[in-house]
Structure 1
Amino acid sequence: MALKDVKNRISSVKNIQKITRAMEMVAAARLRRAEQRIEALRPYAGAIRRMTRQAAEAAGNVPSLPILNEHESEDTIALLLVTGDRGLAGAFNSQIVRAGVRAGSQYETEGKSTVWYASGRRGVSSLTFRGRDAKGAYTGFTDRPAYANAREIASDLMAAYVDGEVDRVEIIYNRYISPLTQEVTRETLLPLQHATILEGGEGLGGRAAGEEEGQDHGKHALVEYEPDPDAILERLIPAYVEISIYRALLESTASEHGARMTAMRNASENAGDIIKDLTLEFNRERQAAITQEIMEVVAGAESLV
């Protein structure tokens, strides 16, 4: 490789390294804000869970609300994939798509049909590429999801469930653990498990949603409901579903920024290694060129003697 070509490659790699370092810093700043939003959500999510459980306890038997009715059979499964709008985040998007396609194929081998929903342009485009059209496509907000976005998705999923279009709804997303670790999580969203509401299991609003150990135990204050608990529960159940989706969106956003920050850091380090190798090659080529010129000068001088 000519010296000029090596020098041009070094310059281009340095420019790429500047971009990846800038993207890493942007992702780190956005990650911090995403973590703060998750922390702010936890008290509200915990309150929703407690209120829902207490209202269900006050109502005695869980009322036969359409959203609480479990279908006789589960022939149609809705899968909601939560991905990002952009790439350059390592395996963040691809692992969700792979997990979703794997789950869909498993249901299809069991003779069940699947209905696809996707949040994020990467998920929508990946499903389309694989010949699986998304009935619900939600894009343009993955960098900073709002509660209204979760409400829109929840409304479509609950309507499909109540109308009998789907018998089960599952959500697949990246659960945020740390900037270096994101765990692919698959959860059942509908039908709502009554035991989870009544017994306070590890569903939405458990300790992961903001309850400290020892909280919400012991005796409860006497509560009088106006209107009756059934009517209150009818309003709380949709909020329960919405907050579940909103939590998944926030977890996915934090995971995306963490994955992008890690990917850009690795890219910057790899660029540094390439620059070192190219610089070594450049020096070697330049030394060889200098040595060749010296030999030519010596040979010319000897020919004059």
Structure 2
Amino acid sequence: MSQRDIKNRISSVQNIRKITRAMEMVAAARLRRAEQRIEALRPYAGAIRRMTRQAAEAAGSGELSKLPILASRDSESTVAILMVTADRGLAGAFNSQIIRAGIRAADEFVGEGKQVEYFATGRRGVSSLTFRGREPKGSYVGFTDRPSYANAREVAEALMAAYVDGEVDRVEILYNGYVSPLVQEVRRETLLPLQQATILEGNERDREGSEGDSGHHALVEYEPDPVDILQRLVPDYVEISIFRAMLESTASEHGARMTAMRSASENAGDVISDLTLEMNRARQAEITQEIMEVVGGAEALS
């Protein structure tokens, strides 16, 4: 490879590094905003999920079956899986790990003799499912960079309608939970039926925003009764759970992209160093060759 070819390659890699650095800074700025949105939502989301859990415990499993949205099926034949992905790529394994986890969960249900209905947010998830011949029943795209509550409500209404109409007997959601800019973990939660929902497990994430929650609750008298309260709370619980998952996914996406672009910039720097060293060696070889030619010419003249 000539010096000119190496110089052209160095110039190309330098241009790529400028782009990846710019994308890293943009992702970092968007990540800070996404973190702020998560922090603002957590107290409200934690309160809704905690109230829903407490009302469900007060109502009892027998009372929950009186309402269609709260009814638990005797047998589950169809499961809805919502995969929360992004509209864009260049974020490492962010999208692929959700798709793999969703397909793995679907295969488990199919192995149990159940049917699976796919729902997906983000163009990456929709296109991947379509490519694999698993056409999603619900596709929601164009908002993953900055999801709004209206987007979550649209998805929630479709899932709740499918559950109430008996089209699905269970609703699960998979998304990337935000831990830190460097760490995103795949989370799988059950939204419906309420009797099997993740909120009834009382895990620590469901207590976000609560202070001094020791696990013991005072006796509460509900007016109206807990079932009526749950009829109003459950739609809010489903919507807020999906919205929280969207915000967590957005922050995870920006964190993953920032990390991926930083790694790409560092790799570009390594490539530039290797190419520069190769160019210096080529230049040195050319200089050595020219000196040998001069020496050879001088010897010939003498």
TM range (shorter): over 0.9
> What TM-score does the superposition give when structure 2 sets the normalisation length?
0.92
Describe the shift of the 1:162–1:261 C-alpha distance in structure 2 as closer, same or farther (beyond 3 A).
same
Q: Percent identity?
A: 73
Deviations 1:46-73, CA, capped at 9 Å, x for gaps: 2213433454566676441111101111
8 Å CA contact retained: 2:84, 2:246: yes
Establish whether residue 297 from structure 1 lines up as the match of residue 294 from structure 2. yes
Partner residue of 1:101 out of 97, 100, 103: 103
**Stretch moving more, 34-43 or 186-195:** 186-195
Aligned AA (2:99): V
Q: What is the distance in 1 between the residues matched to 2:249 and 2:256?
A: 10
Aligned AA (1:14): Q
Classify the secondary structure of the residue corresponding to 2:242: helix
Aligned AA (1:282): M
Establish whether residue 238 from structure 1 lines up as the match of residue 239 from structure 2. no
Classify the secondary structure of the residue corresponding to 2:137: strand
Classify the secondary structure of the residue corresponding to 2:26: helix
Deviations 1:206-242, CA, capped at 9 Å, x for gaps: 22x322343785546x7773x6654332111100011
Deviations 1:228-270, CA, capped at 9 Å, x for gaps: 6543321111000111111111111111111111111111111
- Matched pairs, number: 300
Deviations 1:134-183, CA, capped at 9 Å, x for gaps: 10000011111111111000000000011010111111111111111111
Q: What is the distance in 2 between the residues matched to 1:30 and 1:231?
A: 40
> What TM-score does the superposition give when structure 1 sets the normalisation length?
0.91
Q: What is the distance in 1 between the residues matched to 2:90 and 2:194?
A: 35
Aligned AA (2:211): E
Q: What is the distance in 1 between the residues matched to 2:139 and 2:258?
A: 26
Q: What is the distance in 2 between the residues matched to 1:298 and 1:104?
A: 75
Classify the secondary structure of the residue corresponding to 2:277: helix
Q: What is the distance in 2 between the residues matched to 1:200 and 1:99?
A: 21
Structure 1 unmatched runs, 5+: none
What is residue 152 of structure 2 aligned with on the other side?
A: 150
8 Å CA contact retained: 1:175, 1:183: yes
8 Å CA contact retained: 1:56, 1:233: yes
Describe the shift of the 1:52–1:187 C-alpha distance in structure 2 as closer, same or farther (beyond 3 A).
closer
Q: What is the distance in 1 between the residues matched to 2:196 and 2:111?
A: 29
